[in-house]
Amino acid sequence: MIYVAFFAGAIGAVGGAVAVIALRNPFYSVLALVVHLVSLAGLFLLLYAQFVAAAQVVVYAGAVMVLYVFVAAYVGAVEEPIWEPIPGQRFLAPLLGLALFVELSIAILGTGLSALDTEGPTVELGFGSPAQIGELLLERFLVVFEAASMLLLVAAVGAVVLAARRAAPPAPSPPGSPDSRGS
């Protein structure tokens, strides 16, 4: 049963990831990433990470992806040009990705970490529950928690500054019109 769940999640995650880089339209890529994230949330559940799985679905697949969908719809479908600025990029890039995977796999399968070849220790009830995660966040990792909130604030301010409408844009045109993007 657990094997079925793992392989269903793994196929969903890998299929979503491949679809993200294979689909031409960025909008469909975003939707494929949602599939990928939900599958990963299932895998997190298998690893007894309930709170991380819930946060993954609510925060990631819910909030962050909505942001992506809005920007993809705002920018519109940008077809990538056919010509290749770097000769052989389409051939070389998958090759390099494959080389990275083989290298990482050799490192993982040849590792001396003996704990990896087991299912892991039996965990107590409440492992990965919101109570335990919250206790860790507010006691052991309080500084990290505060730094993360500061980082979020800085990112929010930065996004507003970056995306704010300038007072006098060069050659103003109605935003959102299909021809507002130059070539």
Contact call for residues 32 and 65 (beta carbons, < 8 A): no
Footprint (CB under 8 A) of another protein, residues 96-115: 96-98, 100-101, 104-105, 108-109, 113, 115
Minimum CB separation from another protein for residue 37, in Å? 7
Size, binding site for another protein by CB under 8 A:
96
Contact call for residues 167 and 90 (beta carbons, < 8 A): no
Footprint (CB under 8 A) of another protein, residues 64-93: 64, 67-68, 71-72, 74-75, 78, 80-81, 85-86, 89-90, 92-93
Contact call for residues 73 and 40 (beta carbons, < 8 A): no
Footprint (CB under 8 A) of another protein, residues 137-156: 137, 140-141, 144, 148, 151-152, 154-156
Contacts of 138 (CB under 8 A, 6+ apart): 145
Q: Which two tokens stand for residue 147?
A: 């730094």
Classify residue 88 by burial, with Cβ atoms within 10 Å: 0-12, 13-18, 19+. Answer: exposed
Minimum CB separation from another protein for residue 122, in Å? 8
Minimum CB separation from another protein for residue 84, in Å? 9
Got the DSSP string for 131-172? HHHHHIIIIITHHHHHHHHHHHHHHHHHHHHHHSPPSS-SS-
Question: Using CB under 8 A as the criterion, what x/- string covers residues 29-68 for binding another protein?
Answer: xx--x--xx--x--xx-xxxx-xx--xx--xx--xx--xx
The residue within the footprint of another protein, chosen from 82, 110, 165, 177 (CB under 8 A), is 165
